[in-house]
Structure 1
Amino acid sequence: MNNAPQQRENLGLWLGLLGVFIFGLTLPMTRLATGTVDAPQMSPWFVTWARAALAGGLSLAYLLAVRAPRPTAAQRGPLLLSLAGNVIGYPLLLGWALRHVTASHAAVITALLPLATAAAAAWLMHQRARLGFWVFAALGSALVAVYSLLRASQMDNGASQGFGLTWADTLLVGAVLAASLGYVAGAKVTASLGAEKVISWVCVMALPITLPGAWLTWPEQTIAPLSWLALLYVGVFSMWAGFFAWFRGLSLGGPLRVSQLQLLQPFISIVAAVPLLGESLDGMTLGFALLVVATVFMGRRMANTPKTH
């Protein structure tokens, strides 16, 4: 009996889980890199440019090693949109927000990312989804809004006087929208370029911006060694290597099976924030994370079964 297909699927699931674990650590690692309002480390601007510059250097080496052809004129447009959303918009807005809210709090808001990506694909790529998808998308958004309002009535450990969680959550929603639009733009050229080459070309095309940006925003104050390690993590793993594991896992294990592992990501962020940042687990955060993930699960099931006539 040939077990090769089953072994291939199992390897795909493990690689997919590795990718989700890498991405799940992005929130606490970003907060470690930026610090808080009371104990700032690197500026979110520097973290944004530096992490992309690190990934860009690795991407350049990879593309040269595999002798990847340059993107065509038609491919450069979507790659630039992906650059704007995934290289600049998402990490910058996330970095500013994480100076003011905990990683656990941010995990609840950003749990909407898979659903937002599906909605962006339905809108920009003219993919018709069933009414149920939009119902669950609205429900998930409402849950996030309720969570934000409830948190705004309290003083979260990561909040600061004068900023307000409402504004921080606006930044997180903006980060989700930027990332979802960037993912959809990249998806338009994935079939022709290959998934690993898409993220690599995006990072390389960003180097003329990210290298001088990192130099101009280099920290003037002393930075804690742990924050430098966190920056190294988000640059090497979150921005680059994680995509290799994730895309390869999707290819080997099948998108329908492996993509469901993404539902674990918010919980990985919440749990990892306990040892890394000293955050505490609270019932409201876990409860809302579970509810939001449930709406994402149901919404994605609806998105995968488009309405036909």
Structure 2
Amino acid sequence: MSAQNSAIPLPSVAVGGTVQAALGTLCFSFTFPATNWALHGLGPWTLTGLRGVLAGLLAAVCLFASGAKVPPRSAWPGLAAVVAGCVIGFPVLSTFALRISSTAHSAVVIGLLPLATATVAALRAGSRPPRAFWLAASVGAAAVLAFTVQQSHGAGLGTADLYLLGALLICAVGYAEGGRLSRTMPGWQVIAWSLVAALPVMAATGAFALAAEPAHWTWHSVTGLAYLGAVSQFGGFVVWYRGMAAIGVPRASQLQLAQPLLTLCWAVLLLAEPLPGTAVPTALAVVACIAVTQRAGSAARPAGS
């Protein structure tokens, strides 16, 4: 009984974890608008490489200043998944998607990420959320998918959607593995070591891309690049992984159901994109799903119990 109770987060820890996961969601909600800004002056490969370099250098400085030790070998496979999903895969695929799709449309497609993350976490970690959790998560995902189809006027999935679906699938693996590692090592070190490990690849990508793609250093491109490197690629992950470690991957992932709606707001305010008429009904459905999944997620139990 004591071992089982020790796995249940204290109320104060759960509240703090929820706040940090929500803050991570807020940070990530600006990622697509920042990418849109950066793409006004930088090519997709240049942007991907340079944001990785900036984040990697920042992470290296923080690791050195804190005297952090190299993670044990048992953590390397999980860190490799974070590198592949969160450091390289998602930035590359989402950047190419945003070249041919609006920020609003892309944000809604990525709204399927919470369900993908919860599914990966359940398969990888053996967590068993109750049926109500999966039902609410599925309804939230269905609402996001219906919104996407409505926005495409029934035309189905395009090239940008395929990029985004690939991005969310590989990112879900990175999220789940990062959340798992954050239970045994500081969350900020999970993303920091992943960024440092990817630094040579990002540096080579940025160097070759700068020679092949024209770069225009405008206020928007510099601001977008700076945000992507410092916040989307590093700072946001610090609070996000800490939140997942405190309240669990499935519950934390459902907070991201609010991310596409936040991004829609920033698309209107920062990019002057038109607000889809179905945004408000979708927002109400998403908020309801978050409430249900947060309540049901607290009843999750490990496999075999």
TM-score normalised to the size of structure 2? 0.82
Unaligned 5+ segments in structure 1 are: 36-40, 156-163
Distance 1:105 1:256, change over 3 A: closer
Segment of structure 1 superposing worse, 284-293 or 252-261: 252-261
Residue 214 of structure 1 aligns to which amino acid in structure 2?
G
Question: Could you tell me which of 10, 20, 26 is aligned with 1:21?
Answer: 26
**Residue 269 in 1 paired to residue 263 in 2?**
yes
User: What do the CA deviations read for 1:220-245 (whole angstroms, capped 9, x no partner)?
Assistant: 24343311210111101111122334
SS at match of 1:193: coil
Q: Which residue does 2:191 correspond to in 1?
A: 199
User: Contact (CA 8 Å) 1:115, 1:296: kept in 2 or not?
Assistant: no
Residue 105 of structure 2 aligns to which amino acid in structure 1?
H
Q: Please give the root-mean-square deviation of Cα atoms over the aligned residues, in Å.
A: 3.3
Q: Which residue does 1:151 correspond to in 2?
A: 151
Segment of structure 1 superposing worse, 217-226 or 23-32: 217-226
Question: Could you tell me which of 238, 241, 245 is aligned with 2:235?
Answer: 241
Unaligned 5+ segments in structure 2 are: 1-9
Give the Å deviation of 1:153: 2.2
Q: Identity over the aligned pairs, expressed in percent?
A: 34
Where in structure 1 do 4 or more consecutive aligned residues deviate above 6 Å? 5-14, 249-260
Q: Which residue does 1:33 correspond to in 2?
A: 38
Matches within 5 A, 1:284-303: 284-303=278-297
Give the Å deviation of 1:103: 1.6
Matches within 5 A, 1:244-255: 244-246=238-240
Residue 233 of structure 2 aligns to which amino acid in structure 1?
M
Distance 2:138 2:107 in 1: 18
Segment of structure 1 superposing worse, 294-303 or 71-80: 294-303
Distance 1:148 1:305, change over 3 A: same
Q: Which residue does 2:207 correspond to in 1?
A: 215
Distance 1:102 1:112, change over 3 A: same
Question: Could you tell me which of 160, 164, 170 is aligned with 1:172?
Answer: 164
Distance 1:296 1:54, change over 3 A: same
User: Contact (CA 8 Å) 1:122, 1:128: kept in 2 or not?
Assistant: yes
Q: Which residue does 1:61 correspond to in 2?
A: 61
User: What do the CA deviations read for 1:243-301 (whole angstroms, capped 9, x no partner)?
Assistant: 33445677899999988764543332111112321112222234334434543543454
Segment of structure 1 superposing worse, 8-17 or 207-216: 8-17
**Residue 112 in 1 paired to residue 112 in 2?**
yes
User: What do the CA deviations read for 1:128-182 (whole angstroms, capped 9, x no partner)?
Assistant: 2323333334333433333332222289xxxxxxxx8532122222221111100
- The number of residues matched between the two structures is 292
Q: Which residue does 2:273 correspond to in 1?
A: 279
Distance 1:122 1:15 in 2: 21
Segment of structure 1 superposing worse, 78-87 or 43-52: 43-52
Distance 1:71 1:7, change over 3 A: closer
Distance 1:10 1:81 in 2: 28
Segment of structure 1 superposing worse, 122-131 or 233-242: 122-131
Distance 2:55 2:235 in 1: 8
SS at match of 1:71: coil
TM-score normalised to the size of structure 1? 0.81
Give the Å deviation of 1:17: 5.3
